[in-house]
Homo-oligomer: A and B are copies of this chain.
């Protein structure tokens, strides 16, 4: 009784103390908030199952797990987690059979073997006849992953009795790509400066580095490419390698490996060689030595990511060699250390191709089988460039002898950048779940990249980071959900967008269903809404020039035709759309016959890809019964209207969110609604100059004329 009374006071005072903190919540803590669970019964229940911590092993990774548990349990339950040396009822037992005699005694080998080097097991069991929860794995990092999973159960207020959870990642290399420059600007970054403070490294280890590693470990991300694919060779000099080492040392306990981008011309720029020809013996030796130097600083260095012969970056083609020649030379330099090369398939020919969408396939498909075993070819999710919607990239399924790695873009270059709320799990899932049909129905992209379809030994998935030094990491608070869902899908591509949103919302905001239901729905709809107000029905690449902010369907006459909008939408007085069927570029031929058949006919082509594959007349009748022109208008208006509804929905959940985060999202939704209307009005007015048809009755008229929108010229757009 007395305890109850104190407990009530405790909660009351905790609540006060939260309210009394001088500053409201700025989102820095991500989904690892660990605020006190308000429901005393739930706390009591969890306390009974976390009476102590028995950890027999000792390593930096296990220490990280212990610290996380201590911090989290103290925060969530309002009581310290005590270390135990003996088994008592409700104890947590952490470790591996190798470092924990107690765990070894449980004889879990048959359960552990299938989990590999990173999977984990969480078991409710009895040890010495005492109730215990065991978190174990074949490695310390597996124990750490299991620890984060266990904490998530508490954060999301799940039952933790009778646990028998085993989980192992389906993809081996789960990697963030930072497009961060050495001057701390971030290409396509919308959350401030780079979090890498190169100037103060190696001696200053920012707390942020540790919190970054914690966050990544909590969702299973195990690698990070520190530098921009538009690379600077200086990162490979000693001055920078000692800084890279400092970061690698800080990340190592969290199972996070460091990778770098390799500028192909580095042998010339910092090595003083006359060539960077990958077949030149001196060049090979230079890279071999350079790799040895890198490994002398970072013994578990992950390897190189390379963008070559694309958008002005140097590459093997400068010397008449092909991509495999370049990748293999680098791969040979690091093979004996266990390093990998991630060679990007996002390439540009010097000549403008008849269809930009075909280029990667054209260049890489013939190279299938000619790459070294430690090379992954990193392919963007679609064949153009991270558009709001693209069909899956035709290379997926087309290179059975070459491990293909997925590249998603978490940062919202084409998805509203600094201001738009777009939950990207549905986008990622759409690609992952897409069926390539290359080995019959069910040959999904996910099965290509998890290696199961073609028996790849090496597997990988990359996400271009949306992280910067803004206080909330990602600029838009909901950008955190995209970092989170990337990690979760990298671990398990079969997870649903809804489940991931649910987890993230519970940990980031609250477990109250009155909040969860409307906001989960808002998140799940957000990407389709953006597609509607930006690029409905398969339209693509019609945004502002270079900075990619705002609408720019009128962009033409630039350095390359395939950097213009008119190249992609091909609007005329007769119709609109890019004919990629045999009557056009026949990019469709790069897909399997089943896809060709389905997508090749506008009647059976999924409507979301209609204008991606077909040039159709303005009066073409779509499924709704509307004309194509009417449907385009309808979608733009619907998209903008939906943002208005998002704004209204957010207003309804004010009671569940602290003022700072509530206002943050509220202001950004206001901006998003303005921007959605901007897109709508600009695109409809522009396409109307071709269609010559009125905006359908019932849709409000744009307040400005087309000239106004064309004359908009935003300056200093972030990330450009």
Residues on the B chain within 8 Å of A157, using CB: none
Q: Are B23 and A211 in contact (CB under 8 A)?
A: yes
Using known A-B contacts A23-B28, A29-B22, A71-B22, determine if residue A418 contacts B200 with beta carbons closer than 8 Å: yes
Nearest CB of chain B from residue A416's CB, rounded to whole Å: 12
Task: Tell me, in angstroms, the Cα distance from A200 to B714 when the chains sit together.
Answer: 12
Pick the residue among B204, B418, B670 that contacts A671 (CB under 8 A). Answer: B204
**Mask: chain A, 658-689; 1 = CB below 8 Å from B; 0 = not:** 00100110011011001000000000000000
Residue with the greatest number of chain B CB neighbours at <10 A, chosen from A20, A663, A715:
A20
Task: Tell me, in angstroms, the Cα distance from A416 to B33 when the chains sit together.
Answer: 36
Q: Are B17 and A716 in contact (CB under 8 A)?
A: no
Residues on the B chain within 8 Å of A616, using CB: none
Pick the residue among B17, B34, B470 that contacts A14 (CB under 8 A). Answer: B17
Judged by a CB distance under 8 angstroms, whether A594 is at the interface is no
**Mask: chain A, 146-190; 1 = CB below 8 Å from B; 0 = not:** 000000000000000000000000000000000000111100000
> How many residues of chain A are within 8 Å of chain B by beta carbon?
60
Among A107-115, A191-199, A406-414, the one that faces the other chain is: A191-199
Judged by a CB distance under 8 angstroms, whether A26 is at the interface is yes
Q: Are B469 and A203 in contact (CB under 8 A)?
A: no
Using known A-B contacts A21-B75, A203-B670, A418-B199, determine if residue A469 contacts B715 with beta carbons closer than 8 Å: no
* Chain A contact residues, majority secondary structure: loop
Nearest CB of chain B from residue A95's CB, rounded to whole Å: 24
Nearest CB of chain B from residue A660's CB, rounded to whole Å: 5
Judged by a CB distance under 8 angstroms, whether A419 is at the interface is yes
Judged by a CB distance under 8 angstroms, whether A602 is at the interface is no
**Mask: chain A, 409-448; 1 = CB below 8 Å from B; 0 = not:** 0000000001100000000000000000000000000000
Nearest CB of chain B from residue A717's CB, rounded to whole Å: 7
Nearest CB of chain B from residue A202's CB, rounded to whole Å: 10
Residues on the B chain within 8 Å of A668, using CB: 200, 204
Nearest CB of chain B from residue A651's CB, rounded to whole Å: 16
Nearest CB of chain B from residue A438's CB, rounded to whole Å: 43
Residue with the greatest number of chain B CB neighbours at <10 A, chosen from A13, A19, A668:
A13
List residues of chain A with CB under 8 Å of any chain B CB. 6, 9-10, 13-14, 16-24, 26, 28-29, 32-34, 71-72, 74-75, 78, 182-185, 192-193, 198-200, 203-205, 207-208, 211, 234, 239, 418-419, 469-471, 660, 663-664, 667-668, 670-671, 674, 714-718
- Can you identify 27 A-B contacts, CB atoms within 8 angstroms? A13-B13, A13-B14, A20-B78, A21-B75, A22-B32, A22-B71, A23-B207, A23-B211, A24-B207, A26-B28, A26-B207, A184-B718, A192-B469, A193-B193, A198-B716, A199-B418, A199-B714, A199-B718, A203-B667, A204-B668, A205-B667, A207-B660, A207-B663, A207-B664, A239-B714, A469-B469, A471-B471
Given A28-B471, A198-B716, A471-B471, 19 other A-B residues pairs in contact with their CB atoms under 8 A: A6-B9, A13-B13, A13-B14, A17-B18, A20-B75, A20-B78, A22-B29, A22-B75, A23-B29, A23-B211, A183-B716, A184-B718, A185-B185, A193-B193, A204-B668, A204-B671, A207-B660, A207-B663, A469-B469
